[in-house]
Amino acid sequence: MTRKVFILEILLTVVALATIAIAYPRLPATIPVHWDMQGRPNGFGPPWLQFLFGPGFMALIMLLTWMLPWLSPKNFQIETFRATYGQIMFLFFGLMTYIAAMMIWPALGYALDTGRAIIGGVCLLLALMGNVLGKVRRNFFIGIRTPWTLASERVWNATHRFAGKVWVATGLMGLAFAVADAKGWPLYILLAGALAPVLYSLIYYKQLERRGEL
């Protein structure tokens, strides 16, 4: 992650912190913090949770961005795909920023289907990550980390090329369903997009194993 991106993330975190602090006196005694598969709020908590779900998680993403390369063991270093790693972590940071905004807006009394907005943001994140997933190299923190991908670099690379295409397709499809307000369907599509690469890695590994190519 470049210095400019890191500075931008710090500024966005400070803005989120300041926004919530200014708006805090106007927040109700309880705010929605969880939504069901139909996008309806089914969990509530005190307003101070806005600080945790907003700037708290944003700061955590920044910390992980710097810590994970240092924690990576030999032969699984993140340094082998540093630029792609930075892009992925910034996408996660962007999602946290977006979720923080979507949560505080209705808490201030403005009309917004928060559950639908958040699932739409997750679908968009999946599609954007799919565009760079094929560049992720074998590691323990980012990507499709199954026993079969971690055991074979060939399986890892093939699985991530496949997953990249699947994530772009399912992410855009889920986003379309979220915009169309098709209750529940975006989550089913996201689940399919997450499970398909896992199954692919198992099947491809077993094929190579039978052919003695591992």
Residues in contact with 166: Cβ distance below 8 Å, sequence separation at least 6, in sequence order: 130, 193, 196, 197
- Say if residues 197 and 144 touch (Cβ distance below 8 Å): yes
Integer Rg of the chain from CA: 19
SS3 184: coil
Tens-digit pLDDT profile for residues 143-165: 999 999 999 999 999 999 999 99
pLDDT at 1: 57
Query: Average per-residue pLDDT in the chain?
Result: 89
Output the pTM of the full model: 0.86
46 backbone dihedrals φ, ψ, rounded to 5°? -70, 155
Q: Give the HSE-up count for residue 117: Cα atoms under 13 Å, Cβ half-sphere.
A: 17
pLDDT at 37: 65
Q: What is the mean pLDDT of residues 19-26?
A: 86
Instruction: Give me the percent of the chain exceeding a pLDDT of 70.
Output: 98
The pair of three-digit structure tokens given for residue 99, joined into one six-digit string: 């979720």
